Structure 1
Amino acid sequence: MRSLTRLAAALALSSAALASLPTLADEARYNQIALRAEVNQDVAHDLMHVTLYSEVQNSDPAKLAAETTQTLNIAVEQACQVKNVSVKLGSRNSYPIYDEKGQQITGWRERAELRLESADFATLSKLTSELLKDLKMGSMDFAISNPSRKKSEDELLKEAVAAFKARAQLATEALGGKSYKLVNLSLNSAGFQPIRPMRMDAMAGSMSMAKAAPVPEIEAGTSEVTVNADGVIEVQMP
C-alpha cells in the first residue's frame, strides 16, 4: 500500500510539472526591442549672474587685507540696499609677489570676489555699472531658474512619451507585428547645455576708470532642455 501511495504521489507531481510548462512558455518574452525617443526645447534664461572682484597689492599683507575688506564691505552694503538682488561673497586669495630672481618677496597681491544674482536684469545691470567704480568685472552669465526648468521638463515629459509611442508603433510595423506591449519605460532629463560666461576682463580697465560704467544692453539667450524616453517593447507577431 505504501508503494502505491508513493507512486501515486510521484505521478501527481509529474502531472503538475507538465501542466506548468505551458505557463512558463507563456511567460517567456520574445521580439523585444529597446527604443529611445528624445525631445528638446529652447528655454529663455531668466537668471543673471555677475561676478565682480577687487584685486590690489601692497608690501604690507595686513594693510592689504584691511584694504580689501573695506572695499568689499562698501560694495556689499551698497548691493544689499538694492531689492531683488542676491548678494554673497565669493573666493578670496592672497599670494606673494617675488623679485625678478624669484627669491625675495617684494609684496603681496589679494583678490576677492563678490557674486550677484537676480531675475531683474535691468536692476542688476545698473547696480553692476555702479559697483564698477571700485571693483572689476570678472564674468557675467545667464541661467534658467528652477521653476522654469521644472515647467519645461513637465511639458517635455508628455511629448517624450508621445514620441516613444510613435517610435514603438513604427518599429512594430517594420517587424510585421500586429501590436506591441510595453515592457518598461524610463524618463530622464538631460539638463541644459553648458553656460558660457561672458568674460569681461578686457573691459575691466576702462570701466574702472570711469565714474560709472554705462549700463550694457542685455541679451540673455537660451539653453536647450532635453528629456529622454528609454524603454523596451515586446512586438506581438500575427
Structure 2
Amino acid sequence: MQPLSRLASALVISAAALLSLAAHAEEVHYNQISLRAEVNQEIAHDLMHVTLYSEAQGSDPAALAAQISKTLNASIAQARKAKGVSVAMGSRNSYPVYDDKGQQITAWRERAELRLESADFSALSTLTGEMLQDLKMGGMNFSIASATRKTHEDALLKEAVAAFKARAQLATEALGGSGYKLVNLNLSSGGFQSPMPMRMNAMKGAAMMEAAVTPEIEAGTSQVTINADGVIEVQMP
C-alpha cells in the first residue's frame, strides 16, 4: 500500500501545481497603458545620384547594340577617372519599332543607362556636365548614406527612449499612480524623403557644357524618425 500512497500524494501535488498555473494564466493585469513616443530630425542628403543614358535607333540590331556598347564603354572609362565617383550599369532595353499600321518592323531602338554616385557633389556635377556631350540626362536625386543614417538613428534612439519614459511618468501621475513597470517596448525607425529640388541655372545638356557652368545643387533633406511603442503597468498606491 505504501507505493500507492506515494502515487496519490504525487497526484495531489501535480493537481495543485496545475491549478496554480491555470490561475496564473488567467490572472488579469490591470492599469496597463499603451504609449507611443516619436522623435525625428531633418538630415541633409550627403549622396548624389545621377542617371545618364544612351539611346539610338537603327535597322540592324547587332550594329545598334555595338554602337551603344561602344558609347557606354567610353563613358564608363571616363567616369572611372573621376575621384570619389562610383559608376554602375543601369537598365538596358532593345525593342522593335513598327510601321504606322503596326505590322512590320521598320527599325530597332535601344536604350542603356549609366548610374553615377558620389558624396562629392561638385565632382559629380562637373563629371555629369562633361558626359552630357555623349549621353543624355535621365535623372538626378539625392539620399542619405547608410552610415550617416545609422549614426543619426542611434542618437535618436536614446532620445526616443527618454521621450517614452517621460510620457510614461506623465501618464502614471495623471492616473494617481505611485510608479510603473515597463511591460514591453518596441523601437522602430522610419521617415520620409522630402522633395529634392535641383537648379541648373536654366541650362541643360550641351548648353550647360558650352558655357562651362557647374550646376548649382540643392540636395535637400530627409526626415528620419524613431518610434517608441510600448506598454506600461501603472502601480497604484
**Shorter-chain TM-score range:** 0.7 to 0.9
* Contact kept in structure 1, 2:196 and 2:221, CA below 8 Å: no
For 1:199 and 1:220, the matched residues in 2 are separated by 7
Partner of 1:86: 86
Q: CA offsets per residue over residues 92-141 of structure 1, 9 Å max, x none?
A: 10111111111111111110000000000000000000000010000000
Q: CA deviation at 1:214?
A: 3.1
* Contact kept in structure 2, 1:140 and 1:198, CA below 8 Å: no
Aligned-pair identity (%): 67
Partner of 1:193: 192
Partner of 1:40: 40
Partner of 2:108: 108
Matches within 5 A, 1:13-32: 13=13, 24=24, 29-32=29-32
| Shift in CA distance, 63/209, structure 1 to aligned 2, threshold 3 Å | farther
For 2:44 and 2:88, the matched residues in 1 are separated by 25
Q: CA deviation at 1:147?
A: 1.1
Q: 1:148 aligns to what SS in structure 2?
A: helix
Q: 1:106 aligns to what SS in structure 2?
A: strand
* Contact kept in structure 2, 1:142 and 1:195, CA below 8 Å: no
Partner of 1:159: 159
Q: CA deviation at 1:68?
A: 0.5
Q: 2:29 aligns to what SS in structure 1?
A: coil
For 1:210 and 1:33, the matched residues in 2 are separated by 60
Matches within 5 A, 1:3-18: 9=9, 13=13
Partner of 1:126: 126
Q: Which amino acid aligns with 2:137?
A: M
- 2:205 corresponds to 1:207: yes
TM-score (norm: length of structure 1): 0.85
| Shift in CA distance, 127/49, structure 1 to aligned 2, threshold 3 Å | same
Q: 2:192 aligns to what SS in structure 1?
A: coil
For 2:92 and 2:41, the matched residues in 1 are separated by 38
* Contact kept in structure 1, 2:97 and 2:107, CA below 8 Å: yes
Q: CA deviation at 1:196?
A: 5.0
| Unpaired segments ≥5 residues, structure 2 | none
Q: Which amino acid aligns with 1:46?
A: D
For 2:198 and 2:121, the matched residues in 1 are separated by 17
For 1:48 and 1:176, the matched residues in 2 are separated by 53
For 1:9 and 1:109, the matched residues in 2 are separated by 88
Q: 1:176 aligns to what SS in structure 2?
A: coil
Q: 2:162 aligns to what SS in structure 1?
A: helix
Partner of 1:67: 67
Number of aligned residue pairs: give it: 229
Partner of 2:56: 56
Partner of 2:234: 235
Q: CA deviation at 1:208?
A: 4.0
**Structure 1 vs Structure 2 CA RMSD:** 3.1
Q: CA offsets per residue over residues 120-169 of structure 1, 9 Å max, x none?
A: 00000000000000100000000000111011001100100011011111
| Shift in CA distance, 210/29, structure 1 to aligned 2, threshold 3 Å | closer
* Contact kept in structure 2, 1:96 and 1:107, CA below 8 Å: yes
TM-score (norm: length of structure 2): 0.85
For 1:9 and 1:101, the matched residues in 2 are separated by 94
